[in-house]
Amino acid sequence: MFIHVLVTVISAETFANNNTPPLAPPPADSLTSHTYRPTNWYDNLSIRGYMQVRYNRLLETNPDLVCEQCDRSWGRNGGFSFRRIRLIFFGNVHPRAYVYIQPDFASSIGGAGNVAQIRDAYFDLALNDERTFRLRIGQSKVPFGFENMQSSQNRIPLDRNDGLNSAVANERDLGVFFYWAPVEIRQRFADLVANNLKGSGDYGVFGLGVYNGHTANQMERNESPHLVARATYPFKLPSGQFMETSLQAYHGKFVVNRTSAQLEGNRREFLEQRAAATFVLYPQPFGLSMEYNIGFGPEYVPSSNNIESRPLNGGYMQAYYYIEHSKHGLIIPFARWHQYNGGKKHEIDARKHRVNEQEIGVEWQPFRNFELVVMYTFSNRTFEDGLIMSENPLGNNQRGRLLRIQAQVNF
C-alpha cells in the first residue's frame, strides 16, 4: 500500500522544541506580520514556504469517484502527487508598503504537472500611519468565506468545501480590495494564526473589492467586473474563548467555457450572485465552524441540454478538538459534513453538481514544522455536463469511500 505525505513550510522563525505544543506561524499576509527597518528595501524581505505530497487511494471503493476542483489525484490513474510546493516572499519595503508574492510549483496545466504558476502577487498600501486602512492591489484571495481565506497550511481537512469554494476556484482573482480594521483587532487576527487556533488571517473587519471575476491566472472575458463585500468580527468571550461571525456577498457576470457541441443555444455570459454567513468557535479546546451560502448562477441542465441560470446552495459544518501532549505534540480529531447543490461555473458547461460528503480524521503535529493528516471520506457526488450526458443519458452519480493521507513539513 502507498502512503500519502504532505509537507508544509511556514515560517522563518525559530521552532518550538519537541516538548512544546506546536504553534502555527504568524500570518504573512498582514502589514502587522513584518516590521519595517529603515535600511535597504531588500533587507526587509523574508522567505518561507511549504510543500505537500499526497496519496488518496487507500481503501478506495470507486475509482470513478473524482473531484476536479478539490484534488485531481482522486480516482483512476491517481497516485502520489504534490499538492502544493510554494515559496513566499514577503515584507514591508516601506512603512506603508507591504509586498507578498507566492508562486506554486505544483500546478497542473493541461496534462503537465508540477508547473510553476503565480498564486498571489500583490502589495498592501496603507492609507494612514496606523495602517488600519489599506488597499490590496494585485492577485490575492477574494474575501468570500472563512475557509476560502484560511491558508491550506492551517486548514484541517485536506480540501475546501464545495459549497463556498465553487464561488471562487483557487480562492483568488486580480483586482483591488479595501480593508479596514482597528489596530487591536488586526493583532487579534494575527494571534489567532500564531497561537495555532486555525485563523483565516487578516482580511479586515470590513472588506470591499472589485475584481475581474474569472479567477486567478485567467484573462478577463467581459467588461463587467465582480464586486464583493465582507464584514467579520472576532469576539473574545467572557470564558476567554474566541468566536467569529461573518457576512459576505458578491455580484458579477461570468462567461462560461462551453465546449460541448451537443448543447442547445449559444448563451455564454450569466449573472451570478451569492451571499454567505459564517460562524467560527475557535478550538480552546473544542472548536466548531459552519458556513452556508445561497444564490444563483450558471448550471448545466440535463433536461434541456443547455446552460441556464439556476439557484444554488451549499455549506459545511465542522467540529474538532485539541489534545495537547507534552511528549507527542498536538492531536486534533475532527469531523466535517458538507453539501452543495448547483453548477460549478469554472468547469466545462458549468457542470451540474450534487455533493453530499462526510469526513472523519485526525491531524497530528509532533513538532511545529511537521504535521500528518489521516482522513476517511464518505462521498456521494453527481456531476453532469453536455459531454457526460451524451455518453450516458441516464446520468452520472458516483458513490464511494477512500482513505486519504497527507503530511506537512515547514521551513
In tens digits, the chain (411 residues) has pLDDT values of: 333 333 333 333 333 333 333 333 344 444 454 565 667 777 889 999 999 999 999 999 999 999 888 888 888 888 899 999 999 999 999 999 999 999 999 887 766 778 889 999 999 999 999 999 999 999 999 999 999 999 999 999 999 999 999 999 899 999 999 999 999 999 999 999 999 999 999 999 999 999 999 999 998 999 899 999 999 999 999 999 999 999 999 999 999 988 766 677 788 999 999 999 999 999 999 999 999 999 999 999 999 899 999 999 999 999 999 999 988 999 999 999 999 999 999 999 999 999 999 999 999 999 989 999 999 999 999 999 988 888 888 889 999 999 999 998 988
The pLDDT score that the predictor gives to residue 384 is 94
* Residues sharing a CB contact under 8 Å with residue 248, sequence separation 6 or more, in sequence order: 143, 144, 145, 228, 229, 230, 231, 232, 275, 276, 278
* CB of 12 closer than 8 Å to CB of 45: no
The pLDDT score that the predictor gives to residue 262 is 67
- In Å, how far from its chain's centre is CA 309? 25
The pLDDT score that the predictor gives to residue 35 is 62
Q: Name the amino acid, one letter, at 355.
A: V
For 143, 248, 288, 387, the CA distances from 207, given in Å and listed in that order, are: 7, 9, 24, 40
The distance in angstroms from the start CA to the end CA of the chain is: 29
193 assigned to some structural domain:
yes
> CA 226 to CA 219: how far, in whole Å?
14
* CB of 7 closer than 8 Å to CB of 371: no
In this structure, the dihedral spanned by the alpha carbons of residues 235, 153, 315 and 289, taken in order and rounded to 10 degrees, is -30
The three-class DSSP label of residue 40 is: coil
Q: What is the dihedral sign for C-alpha 276, 125, 46, 84? A: positive
User: Which DSSP helix (H) or strand (E) runs through 257?
Assistant: none
Q: Please give the backbone phi and psi of residue 117, each rounded to the nearest 5 degrees, phi first.
A: -155, 145
The three-class DSSP label of residue 164 is: helix
20 assigned to some structural domain:
no
User: Which DSSP helix (H) or strand (E) runs through 185?
Assistant: helix 183-194
Domain housing 230: 31-410
> CA 255 to CA 15: how far, in whole Å?
46
17 assigned to some structural domain:
no
Cell of residue 289, nine digits: 465552524
pTM: 0.88
Nearest to 54 by CA among 42, 70, 39, 38: 70
* CB of 360 closer than 8 Å to CB of 318: no
The pLDDT score that the predictor gives to residue 263 is 78
The pLDDT score that the predictor gives to residue 38 is 66
The pLDDT score that the predictor gives to residue 284 is 96
> CA 39 to CA 95: how far, in whole Å?
11
Q: What is the CA radius of gyration of the chain?
A: 21
> CA 86 to CA 116: how far, in whole Å?
9
21 assigned to some structural domain:
no
State the CATH number of the domain containing residue 95: 2.40.160.10
184 assigned to some structural domain:
yes
Name the one residue in this structure whose C-alpha cell is 455564454. Answer: 268
Q: How many domains does the chain fold into?
A: 1
Q: Which long-range contacts (CB under 8 A, 24 or more apart) does 230-235 make?
A: 230/143, 230/144, 230/203, 230/204, 230/206, 231/205, 231/206, 231/207, 232/146, 232/203, 232/204, 232/205, 232/278, 233/185, 233/205, 234/185, 234/188, 234/189, 234/192, 234/199
The pLDDT score that the predictor gives to residue 30 is 47
* CB of 335 closer than 8 Å to CB of 325: no
DSSP state of 261: T
Name the one residue in this structure whose C-alpha cell is 487591536. Answer: 184
The three-class DSSP label of residue 209 is: strand
15 assigned to some structural domain:
no
22 assigned to some structural domain:
no
* CB of 363 closer than 8 Å to CB of 331: yes
23 assigned to some structural domain:
no
